[in-house]
Amino acid sequence: GAVVSQHPSWVICKSGTSVKIECRSLDFQATTMFWYRQFPKQSLMLMATSNEGSKATYEQGVEKDKFLINHASLTLSTLTVTSAHPEDSSFYICSVSSGSKETQYFGPGTRLLVL
């Protein structure tokens, strides 16, 4: 399967600051990447679909101006949480879909804590 990395793995920041999370597909050119959010003891919820070279597609209820996604290359997508607040504290996970198969391979995730 595809190997996916995320950076950073942990972020602690003050309320009001912006945080950028990187997702890299290390061995696979991903035209599409996905960003999920998982609150403690809850399931994963899809936030947005990141498309290389075009605008991301956001799920209902996810503010595109707050969660900025940039997919500038086939191996890198970034998620920027702008003006982060404590309620944005969560586990952010990206994934790539490997070719025509519908399985997804997840990155190790980024834990964000906003104080």
Interacting residues with other proteins (CB under 8 A): 1, 32, 34, 41-46, 49, 93, 95, 97, 101-109
Min dist CB 97 to other proteins, Å, is 6
- Nearer of residues 16 and 108 to other proteins, judged by Cβ: 108
Q: Per DSSP, what are the bridge partners of residue 99?
A: none
């900025």: which residue's tokens? 68
- Nearer of residues 16 and 26 to other proteins, judged by Cβ: 26
Q: In the chain, where does DSSP find H-type helix?
A: none
What DSSP character marks residue 62?
A: -
- Nearer of residues 28 and 82 to other proteins, judged by Cβ: 28
Give the integer Cα–Cα distance in Å for 88 and 75: 26
Q: Name which of 102, 94, 106, 80 is nearest 34 in CA terms.
A: 94
